Amino acid sequence: MWSNFFLQQEDDGRTGMQSVGGAGGKSGRTGKRSRPPRMSDSQEGKIKLVFFMALIGVTLTVLGMGTEFWVELSQSKHYRNNQTCEMAHYGLWKACVRTLWVSDIDPERESCGPADLPGEANCTYFKFYTSGENAVIFKKTTQKNLHIAGAMLALLSLFLMVMGSVCITMSLSKSVPFFLKPATICFVCSGVLVLLSIIVFHQSVLAFLASDHSVPLHHELSWSVACVGSAAAILILGGILFLLLSLPYNILEKCFRQQSSTEA
């Protein structure tokens, strides 16, 4: 009788140890954190290619923001009835008034310019950001509120470009696609802000021209705006491509599969 009792106790102890070990193994497996998915070599190559394209957009934005060829303002080349005429061009930070020789201007052109012709130039930085004074060019007064708003939008877009570049760098260094979605938001928003900066700047130019009508001027947006506008399109496209690369599946392949299944 006692031998049967001891044998039963040993069997109960073994089953208890097995149940405890099984529960511990399950808890250990459930408590273990799952690692984030790592990107493949092909996906990493695509991200680097799109990042290079986005860096081109950043470079064009910096080039456009740093130059003073956003708009060109030209008098008639016969306005002063002498051998010279005046024109002006300015950007976000600086304005230049140039005196050109009428003989160097295309005979078919009615206004003074373009700005790349040789002549005497007088460039000054705007005092919007220091003393708050408006600039006067050809008896017309700039609108500092609109001008400052356009400049602040451009600077904010540049900050978002830097943040997006940091996200892509971290994603490539860690080899995880987690940071692609924040980079998408940064690049798309920066492109939209660049476009808003161009719109606000153009409104400031129109307000500048409407401030005085005694001196007729011909105005046109110059190559700096072309650089910034191209940069905005590149940044928005880059952000969309980063979003597509962050998805766990290929949208094109999925669409083709659905189309083939419906045809079958």
pLDDT in tens, 107-159: 888 888 888 888 888 999 998 888 888 888 888 888 889 999 999 999 999 99
Q: Strand ranges (DSSP E) for 35-93?
A: 71-74, 84-90
Tokens of 184: 């998408």
CA Rg value for the chain: 32
According to the model, what pLDDT value does residue 88 have? 92
- CATH number of the domain within which 90 lies: 1.20.140.150
**pTM for the full predicted model:** 0.78
User: Residue 97 belongs to what domain range?
Assistant: 41-248
Is 111 inside any structural domain?
Answer: yes
Is 49 inside any structural domain?
Answer: yes
According to the model, what pLDDT value does residue 263 have? 52
What is the C-alpha separation between 16 and 22, in angstroms, rounded? 10
According to the model, what pLDDT value does residue 27 have? 42
Half-sphere exposure of 121 (CA within 13 A, CB side): 15
* Mean pLDDT of the residues in the chain: 81
According to the model, what pLDDT value does residue 93 have? 93
Residues comprising the chain, all counted: 264
According to the model, what pLDDT value does residue 240 have? 93
> What residues pair up with 90 in beta bridges, in sequence order?
71, 95
According to the model, what pLDDT value does residue 195 have? 96
Q: What angle do CA 188, 160, 208 make, to 5 degrees?
A: 85
How far is residue 144 CA from its own chain's centroid? 24
Coil, helix or strand at residue 210: helix
182: preceding bond cis by omega (within 30 degrees): no
Is 29 inside any structural domain?
Answer: no
Is 262 inside any structural domain?
Answer: no
Is 27 inside any structural domain?
Answer: no
According to the model, what pLDDT value does residue 19 have? 45
In this prediction, the residues of the chain whose per-residue pLDDT falls under 50 are 1-3, 5-7, 9-10, 15-32, 252, 255-256
How many independent structural domains does the chain possess?
1
